[in-house]
Structure 1
Amino acid sequence: MPRRPTFSRLAVLLAALALAACKPAPVAEPGEALSGGATTVKRNDRFAFSLPSANLLPGQRLDFSVGDSFFTAPWVIAPSTTTARDGLGPLYNASACQSCHIKDGRGHPPEPDASNAVSMLVRLSIPAGPDDAATLERLGVVPEPVYGGQLQDVGIPGVAPEGKVRMDYEAVPVTFKDGTVVELRKPILRITRLGYGPMHPDTMFSARVAPPVIGLGLLEAIPEADILTNADPDDRNGDGIRGRPNRVWDESLQQTVLGRFGWKAGQPNVAQQNAHAFASDMGLTSGQLGADDCTAAQSDCRTAANGGKPEVSERIFEQVAFYTRNLAVPIRRNVSDPRVLAGRELFKDAGCTACHIPKFITGKGNAVLGPEVSDQVIRPYTDLLLHDMGDGLADNRPEFLAGGRDWRTPPLWGIGLTHIVNEHTQFLHDGRARNLLEAVLWHGGEAEASKQRVLAFDADERRALLAFLNSL
C-alpha cells in the first residue's frame, strides 16, 4: 500500500499565506541580507557590532581605530599623567562609553546585588512652570533642581554619588488565543541612598538601558523628507498609527530641528548625542557642552579638579564621532529560510511594518557624514518617529514634543545577535523584556491592534515570527 504524503505545519503555513494573498510563496529580496547596504559586515560572532563599515578606506580605518580606543578605554580622574583622557566625573555613571554600550551593543538593567546600574541610567525632570519656556526649548525638560537631568550613581573621591538605582519586578501574565500563558515582568524603579537630600516631590523618572550603536551614521543620513513622509499625526489613513517627529534643539545650529536619536528621539545627530553622553554619563566636558552636570546644591562637585577646558579635545571628539557613525551593521542570517520568510510575512500582516519600516535609501554624503553612507539601500526597520505605546510602557515623562507614553521606534537591525554579542536578551527601553516575544507583548497604544494579531498566532506562527526577528 503506497504511503500517504505528509506535510510539515510550516509548509502548510507557507501555503496558506500564499493562498490567502493570492500570490506566490515569499522569497528573499535581492540584497535583503545587507541591512547596511555596502557598509554591511559579514560577521556574526561576539564582535559583530564592533567592526568598521565595510566600505571604509584604509586611512579611515585608522581614524576608526583611534576613535575606538577613546570609546573603549576608561577615562581617569584629574589630575593625571594621562592627560588625553582625564577629567572623569566628578559625578558619573560609567568610566567608559563601552561600559554602557557593551561591545557596542545593548545594556541591561542592574542585577539585584549590583553596586551601581552601569549600563542603565535614570533621567530626571519636574513639571514645567509658566517661566520655563526657554528651558523647554533648549533642553526639552526641566531638570530636577537638586540632582539635575540624570541621576549619577558614582562619584570621584570626595564627591558623594547622587543615589543608587534598584529595579524590582512584579509578574504580569498574558494569554495567547491557544491558551499559552507568558508571564511578563513589570519593573518597579527604586532610588535609594540619596546623597544630596530629598528630590522635588513631583520628580518624573525614566529608566533607560544603553541601546546598540551600530548603523548610526546611516540613520543620520536618511533624508529628513523621507522620515517626515511617514508621519501621520492625525491618522489620515485610518490605520491607527500616528507617527510624529520630535523637534529638538540643535546646539551647533542654535535652532530647533528633527530629532532622530535616543529612546524618545531627543537628539538631532550623532555628535550632539555623544556630547550629552560625555557630559551626563561620564562627567566630561566638550566643545559642545562645556560644563559638568553639577547643580547649585552640589558644592563638592562644582569645586572638584577638572581635566582641562574642554576635557574631551576637539580632535578626540571628532574621532569618537567618526567611530560611532561608522560602526557597521552585521549581515542578516538565513534570509531565504522558509520559516524566516513566513515570519517576515506574519510581521507585515500583523501591521508591524507600519512603524518598523523595513527600508530607506540614504541621501548624498556630505563633509560631516562622508561618502561611505551615501546612496545606500538600508533596512533598519524603524521610522525614527514617536508613537504612543500605551500605559504599559509609559514613563510619564515628556521630552521636547514626546509625551509620557511616546517612544521612538527603535531600529531592529542586529537584534537577533544580542544574545551572542551581549550574552543576554533583555529588550525595550528599560530592559524589562527577557526575550523578543515578551518585547512584542508589551506593545500597546498604537501597536495594540498588532499585538492582538500576534496573540492570535499559534505556536508555529510564533516560532516563525521569532525566526524572522532573530534573523535581523
Structure 2
Amino acid sequence: MSTSCKNDDGPDNPGNSELPEEYYAGGKLGTTTINNISTAYEQPTPAVEQNGMTLAFKIGEAFFEKGFNTNPSGVRHGLGPVYVRSSCITCHPGYGHGKRVDQYRANEFGNGYLLVVFDQDTHAFVPELTGMPQTKAVDPFLPPVDEKGIRIEWREHVDQFGNKFPDGETYSLIYPEVTIDPAYINTDPKPANYTVRLEATIGIYGTGLLDAIPDDSLIAEYNRQKALGRTLNDAKYDPANFITENDGTRHPGRYTYGLTRGTLQNGPGSNAIWNITNVTRENRRNNYITKAYATAMSKNANVQAALGKDEAAIYAELMATDLEPEMSTEDYVNFMIWHRGLAVPAARDLDDPVVQKGKKAFYSIGCTSCHKPSWTTGPDNYTGDTLVARQLPRYPYQKIWPYTDMLQHKLEMVNDIRTGWCRTTPLWGRGLSQICTGAGDHLHDMRARNYTEAIMWHGGDAAFSREKFRNLSKEDRDALVKFLESI
C-alpha cells in the first residue's frame, strides 16, 4: 500500500485503509487528514467532532481570529488599557509560528515576536515591565514601551566551521540584536541594567495532546536523560518548583520555552487571551500591568486631565483586582474547547525512499536524544480549572509523534534565549509552515531561515548531532531535511 499524500488512498483520503501509526501524528483522536493545504493547522480533532463540540469549537475559534475592541460592551470588547496585540492570530499566522521581521510593529500580521526584557546580571524579568511587555495603549494612556524606541538589527554570524560543510557547500547564519531606547519606556521607575531578546510565538495545533501526556511520563524522561549525563535544567524538576494550578495541584512545566506553564488550563492560550489583550474574565479580574507603569500613568498630567481624576484614583483603578469580567465564562469555555481541540496534521510521504533515508539519518546521528519521536497519553482525566472542568475534548491512551522530549536544554547560541535554557520545540507539522503561515523560520527567535541553519545553530548536548549532520553527504543532509518536512 502506498501512503504518499499524493495518492488516492493516503492520509488525505484514507478510505478503508489503515495507515501505519506514525502517519497519525496526533493519534487517532488527535490527527486531521487535511494535511497539505493552507488550513492544515486549523482543523478540529476527531475527538471534537465525535463529542459534539464542533459548534463550540467554531465559536471559540472566533475569539482567536477576530480582533478585540475598546468598546465598553458588545462582542470581544474590553481591549486595554494597554495590550500586546488586539488579536491572537496576528502573532500566530495560520495558527502556526510567528515569522521573522526587521521592525517591531504589533499591528503587522504575522509578527509573533514578544519582547523579553531582563536584568543583565540575574536574567530575571525586569519588574518595571510585564513578562510580555505591551507596546500598544488605549487613549489617553501611553504604552509601557513605545514601538518607536525598539530597534531590531539582524547580524551575520560565522561559526567555527566558517559556515561551510566539509564537501564545500556553504550556509548562512544570522541572529538579532535588539535594543530599546530608555526614553521610550513609560514606567516610573524605568528599568536599568537590562538586556532585550526576542521570542517568537509557537504553533498552537496539538497543544491539547501534549497536555494529555502524564506528569509521571515527563518526570521519567527527565530522570532517563539525567542518568545518561545530559545537561538539563534540574531546577524545573525539583518538586518545590512545580507549578501550582487553580485547583491547588502541582505539575512540572510543559509549555513555553521556559517551561513556565504546567497544564493547558493554565497554559499559554488560557493566559494569553487575558494578558495579550487585557480582557478580563471571571478568574482574571485585574489588568496585566506593573506597579511601575500604574505609577507613571497616574502621575501623567495628560492622563489626569483626560480622565478627570487625581493620581490616587487612577492608580487604584489600574491596579484593581475586582474589575468587571469582559469575557463571559461561556465564551471562555468555547475558546478553551477550540484551544484543546486543534488537531495535528497527518504526516506525509513517509514511504518515500528519500524520506526513509532521511529518517534513518535523523535517528542514526542522535537527533532523537532530544527530539523524542513519540509519547503515549494517559487517561487524560485532569479536571483543573473549575470554569472548564470536564468540558474539554480528551485524548486518552493515544500514541502521538511530536518529536520533542519536553525538556529544557542549552543550545549555546550567540545572543541566546533568556537564561540559556530552552524547551525542545515539537517538530510535528513544521514542514507545512510555509504553506500555512507564509514563512518557514525556526528556533526561538526565528533566526534560522531553514532547517539546515536551525541544525547548525545547535550547540551544547546537541553539538554531537550537529557534527554528525555536518559530516553527512549532501544527499543525506537533504534527505534528513525532507524527512523533517514530512512529519
Fold similarity call, TM over 0.5: yes
- List runs of 5+ in structure 1 lacking aligned partners: 1-28, 130-140, 398-403
**Candidates 339, 342, 348, aligned match of 1:324:** 339
> Distance between the aligned counterparts of 1:369 and 1:359, measured in 2?
27
Contact 1:235/1:241, CA 8 A, preserved across alignment: yes
CA distance in 2, matches of 1:288, 1:113: 31
CA shift at 1:255, angstroms? Answer: 5.7
Does 1:154 find its partner at 2:136? yes
TM-score by length of 1: 0.83
Maintained 8 Å contact 1:121/1:151: yes
1:393 touches 1:443 (CA, 8 Å); kept in 2? no
Residue 31 of structure 1: aligned partner: 21
2:78–2:278 CA contact under 8 A, matched in 1: yes
Q: How does 1:260-275 map to 2 (within 5 A)?
A: 260-273=254-267, 274-275=269-270
Contact 2:373 2:404 in 1 (8 A): yes
Deviation at 1:319, TM superposition (A): 1.4
Instruction: Work out the CA distance in 2 between the residues paired with 1:95 and 1:407.
Output: 27
Summarize deviations over 1:165-201 as a string: whole Å, max 9, x none.
4321111132212122211001111224323377422
Structure 1 equivalent of residue 443 of structure 2: 428
* Structure-1 separation of matches of 2:65 and 2:242: 29
Superposition deviation, residue 263 in structure 1: 1.2
Map 1:200-349; keep pairs closer than 5 Å: 200-232=191-223, 235-238=226-229, 240=230, 242=232, 244=234, 245=236, 247-254=241-248, 256-273=250-267, 274-299=269-294, 300=297, 303=317, 309-349=324-364
Distance 2:208 2:172 in 1: 37
C-alpha distance 217-108 of structure 1, shift in aligned 2 (>3 A): same
Decide whether the 8 Å contact of 2:456 with 2:466 is kept in 1: yes
Structure 2 residue identity aligned to 1:229: A
CA contact (8 A) 2:65 2:88 kept: yes
Distance verdict in 2 for CA 1:57–1:256, change over 3 Å: closer
Residue type of the alignment partner of 2:52: G
1:289-340 CA-to-partner distances (Å, cap 9, x unmatched) read 3321222333448547999622222222221111111100001110100110
Decide whether aligned partners of structure 1 residues 435 and 86 sit closer, same or farther in structure 2, where only a CA change above 3 A counts: same
Relative distance call for 1:177 and 1:170 in structure 2 (3 A) is same
Per the alignment, residue 16 of structure 1 pairs with none
Counterpart of 1:69 in structure 2 is: 62
Residue of structure 2 equivalent to 1:462? 477
Matched, 1:442 2:457: yes
Q: CA deviation at 1:383?
A: 1.1
Q: Distance in 2 between matches of 1:384 and 1:455?
A: 25
Code of the aligned partner of 1:289? R
Look up the SS of the partner of 1:373 in the other structure: coil
- The 10-residue stretch of structure 1 (290-299 or 366-375) with the greater mean CA deviation from structure 2: 366-375
Aligned residue-pair number: 424
Who is 1:4 aligned against? none
Distance 1:342 1:471 in 2: 12
- Higher deviation after alignment, 211-220 or 249-258: 249-258
Cα pair 2:32 2:46 within 8 Å, conserved:
yes
Q: 1:106 aligns with which of 97, 107, 116?
A: 97
The alignment's TM-score, normalised by the length of structure 2, stands at 0.80
- Once residues 51 and 242 of structure 1 are traced to their aligned partners in structure 2, the CA distance between those partners, rounded to angstroms, is 34
Secondary structure class of the residue paired with 1:111? coil
CA separation of 1:393/1:471 partners in 2, compared to 1, >3 Å: closer, same or farther?
farther
1:166 and 1:340 map into 2 onto residues whose CA distance is 41
Tell me the residue number matched to 2:38: 46
Residues in 2 aligned to 1:76 and 1:145: alpha-carbon distance in whole angstroms:
28
**Contact 1:87–1:311 at 8 Å: present in 2 too?**
yes
- Matched residue SS, 1:32: helix
Superposition deviation, residue 232 in structure 1: 4.2
% identical aligned pairs: 28
Question: Per-residue deviation at 1:102?
Answer: 1.4
CA-CA distance at 1:467 after TM superposition: 0.5
- Give the conservation status (yes or no) of the 8 Å contact 1:109–1:430: yes
Q: Which residue of 2 aligns with 1:407?
A: 422
| Paired residues of 2:270 and 2:336 also in contact (CA < 8 A) | no
Secondary structure at the counterpart of residue 97 of structure 1: coil
CA gap of 1:181–1:198, structure 2 versus 1, over 3 A, is farther
Tell me the equivalent position of 1:124: 117
Instruction: Confirm or deny: 8 A CA contact 2:373 2:401 kept in the other structure.
Output: yes
Instruction: Determine the C-alpha separation between the residues in 2 that align with 1:89 and 1:143.
Output: 22
Does the 8 Å contact 2:412/2:459 carry over to 1? yes
**CA distance 1:314–1:126, change in 2 (3 Å):** farther
Call closer, same or farther: CA 1:113–1:102 in 2, change over 3 Å: closer
Look up the match of 1:57. 50
Aligned to 2:72: 79
1:181 alignment partner AA: T
